[in-house]
């Protein structure tokens, strides 16, 4: 059985329609942050096992960015929300 992701705009779709774009839990440093902070933000990434929050792009569908919470071991998807809605919520 193929892995499926429920896009909030297109419905249930196979994961092959999507591209993972990276960790959605990163916090961008302030413009005045040190070079070391910027280096870590741009280049240093953890590779966690288990539940993670990631940016995904629905390339073969609505072309929207989504925030997907999933398990990197079992590939179980816990939640999918529109990226713009998640960004608005984070600003509150």
Domain that holds residue 50: 4-25+35-91
pLDDT of the residue at 76: 92
Single pTM value for the model: 0.83
pLDDT under 70: residue ranges of the chain: 1-2
In 10 A of CB 66, how many CB atoms? 27
User: Using one digit for the tens of pLDDT, what is the confidence trace for 38-54?
Assistant: 999 999 988 889 999 99
pLDDT of the residue at 49: 93
Q: What is the mean pLDDT of the chain?
A: 92
Count structural domains, the chain.
1
Show the tokens assigned to 26: 């990163």
**Domain assignment present for 30:** no
CATH number at residue 86: 3.30.2270.10
């Amino acid at each position: 059985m193929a892995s499926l992701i429920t896009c909030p705009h297109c419905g249930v779709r196979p994961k092959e329609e999507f591209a993972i774009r990276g960790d959605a839990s990163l916090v961008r440093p302030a413009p005045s942050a040190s070079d070391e902070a910027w280096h870590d933000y741009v280049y240093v990434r953890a590779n966690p096992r288990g539940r993670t929050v990631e940016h995904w792009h629905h390339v073969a569908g609505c072309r929207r960015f989504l925030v997907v919470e999933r398990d990197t071991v079992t590939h179980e998807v816990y939640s999918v929300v529109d990226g713009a809605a998640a960004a608005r919520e984070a600003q509150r």
